[in-house]
Amino acid sequence: MKISDQVALAAKNLSRRKGRTALTVIGVVVGTCAVIVMISLGIAQNKAYDEMLSTWGDLTQIQVYGGGMGVSVSVGSVTVSSSSSDEPAKLDDEMIGIFKSMDHVVAATPYYEGYNLQGRISSGMNERYQITGLYNLYGIDPAAMEPMGFQLTEGEWLSDTANYGKDTLPVLVGPATGYSFEDTRRSYSSSKRYRWQGQTDAMGNELPPFVDVNKDDMTLTLSDGDPEAPKEKTWKLKVVGVMAMDEKNYWTQSGIVLRLKDMKMLMEECDDLTGNSYNDTTEYQNVYVKVDDMDNVDEVSDAIKEYGFGTYSMADTRKEMQKQVARNQMMLGGLAAISLFVAALNIANTMTMAIYERTREIGVMKVLGCELKNIRRMFLIESGFIGFIGGVVGAVLSWGVSLVLNNLMTIASLLMMLLQSMGVQANIDLSFLLNMSGTGSSTMSVIPLWLVGAALVFATVIGILSGIAPANRAVRISALEAIRHE
């Protein structure tokens, strides 16, 4: 008997008992729909978490900190030794070179801030406009900025090899750096001493900053802090590029970025002026490592930890969130699996009843010489049909449920408008619907095509497995007893 003939016969046999077949299919529909919806909730939640975390920080960036222990670690095909086993590993230029040579590492750079520097940045006649303090100075390896994901709105990147002139420091600025300047001719209590981005005049026109960092001359001055006779040293700042605002790095809005070597030079000069040794330019407190893909962050992080350094990345937070989602999915998926288990029992019961009703038919088939494997296959095709049809309908139903979940706000708003049009006072706070997913996202369910395909295959397999026992029973029936069966 051909497969096509068996398929046609199976469809005909199922259509003979439409009511019973429909009731059996409903069980598979409920189970399949429940499984798809439960998994889709987890997929949507993970996606929303990733979007939320991406606004907090770079998911492919690792922060390295602390002093490690001297070890030997294999980096690719090369084994490198950071130092003797009795000495702690140093977070220095040599170690950064090791980080850069690791597989999947795109860039690595120290990150200096100017909190320990004493001085000012000034502009205008007689240094009228000043940034009092060097807190918004940042030192970064210029070669790492573009690979780290930073962008420029105009100008060019800093270069370690370019010659910008004597006593001139090239810098990158943020789009709002000019608003950091104060008018020192105004008193501290005067509102006219300050300008901020978005400030408007009486006519509603936006006020520009006191200093146009792209056009006006700016001078950086280091000082020993002596109010009577301060020792000072100055450099001219040359703006070579303007950074695009990056929400993950707040300092890109109004910071001033120097080359790493220039920042080290300023730290050493500041110590010389003050006679202190607050700034260590041989070791770093923080180093940022950029990885090529989010899936490789753990591998690189583990390699760095082998040196004894501490690491942190947004991927660590992401993993904890994913574990929580997985726990929720397991609990909800267990409930959905119970529905499919009940559906499997219904399929087995339906097929058993079908075999009992068609005992004479089975006997006739055996007497006519039909092979046992064909009889078995016929019943397996029928049970597989039930599973497949239930899977298709369940998948379609799950799309509808997903559509409703993703448009709860719209549906609830329309319902409230309908009630109000009927004269029913309805004033309901619908904001809680945005938090039902736990992320504040209105997309509560995401059903990718692979999930639909997997659900159809799973439902069909459940149907086939449920029909194995009844099919085996059918082939064990004696042909003579089956023919005498009423």
Q: What is the pLDDT of residues 295-352, one digit of tens each?
A: 898 899 999 988 888 888 877 777 777 777 777 777 777 777 777 778 788 888 878 8
Using DSSP, how many helices (H) and how many strands (E) does the chain show?
A: 12, 17
Segment 221-235 mean pLDDT: 89
Residue 171: in which H helix or E strand, if any? strand 168-173
What span, in angstroms and rounded, lies between the C-alpha atoms of 74 and 98?
10
Q: Which two tokens stand for residue 144?
A: 């790492």
Do β-strands 137-140 and 256-259 pair in parallel, antiparallel, or remain unpaired?
parallel
Residue 170 pLDDT > 70? yes
271-287 pLDDT per residue, tens: 888 888 777 788 888 89
pLDDT per position as a tens digit, 472-483:
877 777 666 656
Q: Is the dihedral of CA 189, 191, 196, 198 positive or negative?
A: positive
Confidence of residue 76 (pLDDT cuts 50, 70, 90): very low
If pLDDT is split at 50, 70 and 90, which confidence band does 442 have?
A: low
Look up the pTM and report it: 0.62
Q: What is the pLDDT of residues 349-392, one digit of tens each?
A: 878 877 777 777 777 777 777 777 777 888 888 888 888 999 99
Please check the confidence at residue 194 and state whether its pLDDT lies above 80: yes
More confident residue, 302 or 411: 302
286 burial class (0-12, 13-18, 19+ CB within 10 angstroms)?
middle
Helices marked H in 254-371 — which ranges?
Answer: 260-274, 297-305, 314-357, 359-367
Strands 152-155 vs 105-113: parallel, antiparallel or unpaired: unpaired
DSSP symbol at 206: B
Average pLDDT taken over every residue of the chain: 82
Among 48-52, 65-69, 168-172, 194-198, the least confident range: 65-69
Residue of higher predicted confidence among 37 and 422: 37
* Residue 297, C-beta contacts closer than 8 angstroms, at least 6 positions apart: 59, 60, 62, 291, 313, 315
- Per-range mean pLDDT, top range of 68-82, 213-227, 427-441: 213-227
pLDDT above 90 covers a percentage of the chain that reads 29
Whether the pLDDT of residue 437 is over 90: the answer is: no
Question: What is the pLDDT at residue 201?
Answer: 85
Residue 107: the pLDDT is 93
Residue-level pLDDT at 122: 95
What average pLDDT does this structure show over 87-102?
A: 86
pLDDT digits (tens, 9 = 90+) for 122-158: 999 999 999 988 989 999 999 999 998 899 999 999 9
Tokens of 104: 């999947």
pLDDT of residue 244: 92
